[in-house]
Amino acid sequence: MWILLTLLAAFMQAWRNACQSRLSKEVNVAGVTLARFLWAGPIALVYLSALYAWHDPGIPEFTQPFVLFVSGASAMQILATGLMVKLFKLQNFAIGAGLAKSEAIVAAVLGVLFFGTSLSLLGWAGVVVGALAVFFMSSKQGLQSLSLQTVCLGLCCGTAFALTSLWIREASLCLDVPFPYSAAWVLVCVIGIQTLVLVTYLAAQDRDTLKALWLRPKLTLLTSTTSCIGSIGWFSAMSLQAVPYVKTLGQVEVFFTLLVATFWLKDKVCIKDMLSLVLIAVAAIMVMWS
């Protein structure tokens, strides 16, 4: 079951990124970011309601640490999504998604520095391989023409996604309800905060972006749906199996990304880009196995 859930999550995340990449050609960064959450809230509520219809373990206590973790994760995920959309505008879809996959490498470093995690020699080797892959991928003409802007965006995006994952995990541990209710509550709260913040901001500052999403209902709904199903898959899989196994298997998203980019978005993925994506996957696997 955990294998199927992880494959589902990776597959849905690749499609969500593809939808955001296509939407970014017509809508600004804030609008594409909102598209990820806009219809995900109702879907997450339906999922939570279905769980309680099946069995009711009671309403959890929402402590102050929970609120802080959820708020931080919500802000970081908005930032990470916005940075990834900017990556799509600088590079093609596969390269942008690949740079965002530096999340696993950054999470390992943050774990060592702030969460008491220890890395073996194999783990540090993975960090080095991942860093080299990110630098290699960010260059269109080789390392001689390295794009510092793209590298910085990719690392910042990965860092924001890493913090999101760490704080979401901590938030779920704060709740006194079992799996899968804890993950579902965190999902509903995070998506609710993100939607409220972005809709309020756009309603006050940029109503044209809200109109642009309204005029593209199918792509907006598809982005939200794939995002929500992917999140449910990740949380559920990590509740059934150890995180290193889930994260390792989840690197198949890189290959789903290549397939989507090539056959749906019609992006040209050269050999250098493919090798870089594979290196990022290998680096993440080395870190997880360490």
Over the chain (290 residues), what is each successive 10-residue block's mean pLDDT?
Answer: 83 84 81 85 93 91 93 91 77 62 73 70 73 63 58 82 84 87 92 90 87 88 91 78 63 72 65 70 69
- Look up residue 188 and give its two tokens: 């509903």
**pLDDT at residue 263 in the model:** 67
**pTM, rounded to two decimals:** 0.78
Q: What is the pLDDT of residue 267?
A: 62
CB distance 58 to 177 below 8 Å? yes
Q: Which of 258, 232, 247, 50 is nearest to 137 (CA)?
A: 258
Which pLDDT does position 92 carry in this prediction?
Answer: 57
| Rounded Cα–Cα distance for residues 153 and 39 (Å) | 27
The pLDDT of residue 18? 81
Secondary structure letter of residue 136 according to DSSP: H
Q: What is the pLDDT of residue 49?
A: 95
CA dist 95 and 79 (Å) reads 19
User: What is the reported pLDDT for 70?
Assistant: 93
Provide the pLDDT for residue 68: 95
Say which residues have a Cβ less than 8 Å from residue 214's Cβ, sequence separation at least 6.
none
pLDDT at 51: 94
Residue 270: predicted pLDDT: 67
Nearest residue to 81 via CA among 156, 188, 166, 157: 157
Ordered by start, the domain boundaries in the chain are 2-55+66-289
φ and ψ at residue 34, rounded to 5 degrees = -65, -35
